[in-house]
Amino acid sequence: MIERDRPSGSLPIDIDLMVEAGQWPHEDVLARLVDAAATAAFAETGSKGHSELSVVFSDDAHIRALNAGWRGKDKPTNVLSFPAFPPAKGGPLPPMLGDIVLAAETVAREAALEDKPIANHISHLVIHGLLHLMGHDHETDAEAEEMEAIERAALARLAIPDPYA
C-alpha cells in the first residue's frame, strides 16, 4: 500500500493506494494517475473539507465477487465504489469517502476495444468512482448527463479526450 505525501492543501483527501492483483502499471504510475484524477475531479466539484480515500487495483475475479455480493450482479465490471458514509452531493466531505476498486482485465479490455491508452481509461474510472463517492449517480438520464459533464470537464483538465464522444 502506498500513502502519498502531498503539500498541504494540494488535495482535500489522503489517498491510500493498493495493488492487490492483476497486471497494472507500476505503483508510482498509478499513484500519479490517481492524484491527477482526484485533483481534476475536486477542481470540478468544488468539494470542501478533508477526507480519506482508498483506491484498490485488483482483478476481474475479485471484482466479480464484490459485484455479486454487493450488487447481485455475478459478473466483473470495470470499477466499483463503496462509500464509507452516505454520499451527500454538494455537501462537505465526510471523514472517509470510501473505496474505489478497479478490475485489471476489464479495464485493459475496454481500453483496447476503445483504442485509448490504459492510463486515460484508469483516470476516467477513478474520476467516475470518486464522483459516485461524492453523491453523483447515473440512474436517470438527467443524473447521467450531470455526472458525464463533470467527468468530461475533469478529463479535459488532464488533456484526456471525451470518452463519451
The model carries a pTM of: 0.90
Q: Residue 9: what pLDDT?
A: 46
Q: Give the total number of structural domains in the chain.
A: 1
Mean pLDDT of 15-31: 95
Q: Which three cell numbers stand for residue 88?
A: 451527500
Residues 6+ positions from 77 with CB-CB distance below 8 Å = 63, 67, 103, 106
Question: Residue 33 is part of a domain; what is its CATH number?
Answer: 3.40.390.30
Kindly tell me if the per-residue pLDDT of 121 is higher than 80: yes
- Does the pLDDT at position 133 exceed 60? yes
Average pLDDT over residues 77-102: 89
| Mean pLDDT lowest among 25-34, 50-59, 82-91 | 82-91
162 occurs within a structural domain = no
Partner residues linked to 98 by β-bridges: 53, 83
Q: Above 50 in pLDDT, residue 8? A: no
- pLDDT of residue 160 exceeding 50, the answer is yes
- Which single residue is written with the C-alpha cell 478490475? 103
Domain assignment present for 165? no
157 has a pLDDT exceeding 50: yes
Q: Quote the CA–CA distance of 27 and 16 in Å, as a whole number.
A: 11
Q: Which domain holds residue 19?
A: 2-157
pLDDT of residue 50: 87
Q: Is the pLDDT of residue 1 over 50?
A: no
- Asked whether residue 30 is domain-assigned, the answer is yes
52 pLDDT more than 70: yes
Residue 151 belongs to a domain: yes
Q: What's the whole-number average pLDDT of the chain?
A: 90
Query: Is 79 part of any domain?
Result: yes
